[in-house]
Amino acid sequence: MFESFKPINRFLMGPGPANVHPKVLEALSKPTLGHLDPQFLQLMEELKNLLRYVFKTKNENTFVISGPGSLGMEASLVNMIEPDDKIIVCVGGYFSNRMAQIAEKFGANVIVVKEEWGRAIEPQKLEDALKENSDTKFVAFVHAETSTGALSDAKTLSKIAHDYNSLVITDAVTSLGAVDLYVDEWNLDVVYSCSQKGLACVAGMSPVTFSDAAIHHIKNRKTKIKSWFNDFNFLEPYWFGENKRAYHHTAPANQFYALHEALSLIKDEGIENSWERHKRNSNKLIERLKNELHLEPIVPIEERIPHLLAIKVPDGIDEAKVRKELLEKFNLEIGVGLGELAGKVWRIGLMGYNSNERMVDYLIKSLKEVISK
C-alpha cells in the first residue's frame, strides 16, 4: 500500500506562494461539482461579485482565468494586441520584462521605458516616451514589482497614459488584496492578478477585469486573437452567457471554492482593513530588522511594496546559506533575488494570512539565530 504524500508544514515568507488560510484549505476538500451544474454557475456569479469588491470596480467583465498569474498576463496582452500595435511597457524588474517579452511574441511593436531595478517607474519617463510615440495604443506596467520590492504609482501612470489616448494594462499580481488598488478610480483598463499572494489562496487562478473601453477594443479588432484558450470571445459565453452557459474548459471546481472562501474572508475583514493590516505588520518587521539585525530594504520608503521587502544582504554573508538554514532548521522559506538582484537581496513577504505579528516574531527570532552564527 502506498503512502500518501505528506508535505512539510513550512512558513512561506517569500514572494509567494504564501501560506493558505486553514478555512481555504478546508474549502478545497468539499464535494466536486460539474462545471455547468446550476449550483456551480451560482458560485461563478458570486466569484465575479467578490472580485469586483476586491478590485474596487463595477466592470461587468470581471472573472477568473483558470491558470496562474502568468496566464492572466498572457490573456490580458493577447486580447488587446494586434500585429504591429505600439505598446509602451515600463520595465523595472523581472515581471515587467516578462510583459515586454510576451507583447513581442504577440507581434507588438514594443517600446520599453526602463527604470532602475528597485525603484518605482518615474512617471516623467512614461510621459516623454508617449510624446515621442504618439501612435502608442497601450501602456503596460507592473503595480507591485515582486522581483525588486518597488511599488509604482499606478494612478499617475494611468492618468498620463490616458492623457495620450492609450489604454492601460496593469499587473496587480502581488498588489491585489494587500495594498491599495482602485481599478475604476484609477481608470485601469485591463488588470490581472493571481490567487496565491495577497489573496492567501492556492495557486492556479488568475482574476482579471476588463473595462468597457477594453471590451469595446476587443470587439472591434481587425485581426483574430492569437490564442484559443485566452480568447475573450470564447470565454465570454462561459462566464457571461445570457440564460445559457456554454462549455469552454473544465473549470477547477474545488479551486474555485477555495478562491470563494479566500475572497469572502477579505470581504469579511474589509479590503481597506486588509491593506492597513499589511502596512502595520510590515512596518513592525522593517523596524525590527533594522534595530535588531541592521538589515534594510533596498527600496526607498515611499516606493516600497509594504508586504514584499527586498532586503539587502550584508557584505560577508552567504545569502544562500542563510536561506538554506532557515528552511532546514526553522521550516521557513524566504525568497531569492531575481535577475539583476540575484545574490544581492532576500525577498521577504508578509502576505495575506501571513501578515500578522506572530510571523514577524518568528522570522526575527529565526534570522537572529542563523545570522549570529
Which of 74, 122, 171, 303 binds ligand PLP (CB under 6 A)? It is: 171
Instruction: Check residue 337 for interaction with ligand PLP (CB under 6 A).
Output: no
Contact code string over 180-219 relative to ligand PLP, x by CB under 6 A? --------------x--------x----------------
CA gap 109, 270 in Å, rounded: 41
Toward ligand PLP, which CB reaches closer, 193 or 366?
193
Beta-carbon contacts of 30 under 8 Å, excluding residues fewer than 6 positions away, are: 254, 257
Which is nearest to 285 in space by CA: 369, 351, 199?
351
Q: SS3 of 47, please?
A: helix
The site map against ligand PLP for 27-66 (x = CB under 6 A) is: ----------------------------------------
As measured in angstroms, the least distance from the Cβ of 349 to ligand PLP is 10
Residue 358 burial by CB count (10 A; 0-12/13-18/19+): exposed, middle or buried?
Answer: exposed
Q: Which of 148, 152, 174, 211: binder of ligand PLP (CB under 6 A)?
A: 174
Q: Is 69 in the site for ligand PLP (CB under 6 A)?
A: yes
CB-based burial, 174-206: b 16+ in 10 Å, e otherwise: bbbbbbbbebeebbbbbbbbbbbbbbbbbbbbb
User: Rule CB under 6 A: which of 121-160 touch ligand PLP?
Assistant: 142, 146
Of 28, 43, 70, 112, the one binding ligand PLP (CB under 6 A) is 70
User: Quick one: cell of 202?
Assistant: 492556492
Instruction: Provide CB contacts within 8 A for 231, sequence distance 6+.
Output: 78, 79, 225
Q: Number of residues in contact with ligand PLP, rule: CB under 6 A?
A: 13
Q: Which residue is nearest to ligand PLP (CB)?
A: 69
User: CB 93 → ligand PLP: shortest distance, Å?
Assistant: 8
**Helix ranges restricted to H, 143-224:** 154-163, 212-219
For ligand PLP, which residue of 11, 14, 16, 138 counts as binding (CB under 6 A)? Answer: 16
Residue ranges binding ligand PLP (CB under 6 A) = 16, 68-70, 73, 95, 142, 146, 171, 173-174, 194, 203
